[in-house]
Structure 1
């Protein structure tokens, strides 16, 4: 005799399979999240370094093209763009600030904390290097005697 009862044909995942899958996903997220966060922090710091080097370049180009002395004064919490022989004697200035966790450190310039471009010149009268940091990562920015500006990770 043949049994006419319908078979319970359950198609699905067992509790064990679900737990193993969730465990794998949790382990992957524990590994990937810190790496992604670190990369985001590095990218943010590089963005600030890029903006600062662009501003130095802007001052350099305008000094040459507009035949006026220009410069940048560096502070630990930001910097100031200015037109004139110094910040004190400037006819116009534009202060820029960093967020609290971003700082300028190890400012090593020939004229203290200012990069100066005499009127009509590409070459700075002060040059050197300094570091921008967020406490975890650091980038060194430098300008040489010829006026070449660049930055690199430390």
Structure 2
């Protein structure tokens, strides 16, 4: 099993793939981004090899509100914000927020890792940020063990 890092990402070039093939793939597999991610990773490796370049890291973006504190936004509230900000259908983004127990977040991030993601860029959506960072650290620990 490969490594998966949660941490500070240095500035770089981000490439977001949104083409008709991805939309057909998403329609075929439902709202999960995992099939296009795995296919995109394969193509990225091929293109990097053609240029004799190392494979770039592949990052996913997510937002989190982990734990059970009463001041946390719900998955649905976070998803509604993502849907509005990125003009994406709510059903397409409902699974993006990391909520609940660190084990749930680790399981979701492990699926991305298994599909080819090497990094996660995670924003904190609410609550005590120190507590959220501690819960993300617990999530990272679960991913590593």
Q: Identify the TM-score tier after normalising by the shorter chain.
A: under 0.3
**Which of 1 and 2 has greater Rg?**
1
Which structure carries more helix by proportion? Answer: 2
Higher RCO, Cα 8 Å, sep 6+? 2
Name the structure where strand makes up a greater proportion of residues: 1
